[in-house]
Amino acid sequence: MNGKLIVAVATLLFQTTVAAASGDLMREFPAPGDAPFPMSIRVGPKGAVWFLEYRGNAVSRIDPLTGAIVRYPIPSAKSETLAMAVAPDGAVWVAEQDVNALGRLDPATGKFEEIFLPTPRTNPGSLLVARNGMVWTLGWNTDLLVSYDPSTRKFSQRATPSVQGNPYDLAEDRKGRIWFVQRSANKLTVYDPKSDRFDEYKIAPTVQSPIGTVIDRDGGIWYVKLVEGELARFDPVTKESATWAMPQNKGTQELTIDGRGDIWLVQSTDNRLLRFNVGAKHFQSYQLPEGNSRPNSVVAQGTERIWFTEGARNMVGYLDLERAGTVDKDMSVRFDPPAEMFRK
């Protein structure tokens, strides 16, 4: 059953500051091998940082202190793996598009298992491991929402409501509901496993090719309207949205939310990270050290770091949140540098 349409939209003006990258603010590490094209970076338990090597056909773990990388090749050659998620138990899951399988890596043993999806050519393009351990994936051109229970080794799947909706970008709210956007259907969608019910919310009268999806501590659903260039927050209680016009941009790829509740976007063509300070309603832009890096994935590590991948330069890097400072509601910038920065 469809939900109510979004009934109120508040559009606010934006202000932007730009920060240049520096050796103190950002740090980068080369990915191993010949043009591995790193993407889909994620943080696991105890601070483990993982990323996919799309062309290298591997899952890799990086040591944030030394940059040392341990690689785990995916068993099937040319798996076309697009997405990755880390489970609460530390297991690393990947969505293998060409193989039509879910892959599971046990970091403790190095064992890599592939579990084939029940429907041929599902084309899994997004991945989520829920808090209860259930693994969810979306068939981006098959309109399928698929779940896998590792404890029973059983799949369940259901068709999303909109035909050729192009579903992407999974997120779980506190009630265990699964949220995602439908890029072609121009909708924000939620599935409740308890009631086995979908609800859809039209994003705008015109097609926006939305991407997302992240959920804040108050339950708000954040996504980007690519066509209009707006960052949006949907309130699932009031069914209302607020939107903020982003600085002129190209190529937003992914969103994440940090430990303070700020929203971060990675923008491939503009070669930067963009932070939206939720309290101040203010955007800050952080240029990457080198041009044409083609960053494509971003993830927050609490209040410490924002990790990103650079596909064109085959690099993995992070932005130091402590050195980046914060922005207060009155638009003043507060910077609390580490004491060691001033030691002689």
Least confident of 14-28, 150-164, 237-251: 14-28
Read off the pLDDT band of 46 (50, 70, 90): confident
Residues in the chain: 344
Joined tokens for residue 11:
């559009």
According to DSSP H, which parts of the chain are helical? Answer: 321-324
Q: What is the pTM assigned to this prediction?
A: 0.87
> What's the pLDDT band for 335 if we cut at 50, 70, 90?
very low
pLDDT at 67: 87
Min mean pLDDT across 5-14, 25-34, 137-146 is at 5-14
Is 33 exposed, middle or buried (CB count within 10 Å of its CB: 0-12, 13-18, 19+)? middle
User: CA–CA separation, 277 vs 260, rounded Å?
Assistant: 9
Report pLDDT for 278: 96
With a cut of 90, say whether residue 254 has pLDDT above it. Answer: yes
| pLDDT reported for residue 92 | 98
Residues 6+ apart with CB under 8 A from 142: 119, 121, 122, 123
Q: What is the DSSP letter of 165?
A: -
Section 67-74 average pLDDT:
94
List the structure tokens of 314: 């085959």
What is the percentage of the chain residues whose pLDDT exceeds 70?
Answer: 88
Please determine, for residue 6, whether its predicted confidence score (pLDDT) is greater than 50. no
Nearest to 124 by CA among 102, 156, 152: 102
Band (pLDDT 50/70/90 cuts) for residue 153 is very high
Q: pLDDT grade, residue 339 (50/70/90)?
A: low
Residue with token string 């890799």: 60
What pLDDT was estimated at residue 224? Answer: 96
Are residues 203 and 6 in contact, defined by beta-carbon separation less than 8 angstroms?
yes
Give the mean pLDDT of 65-78.
92
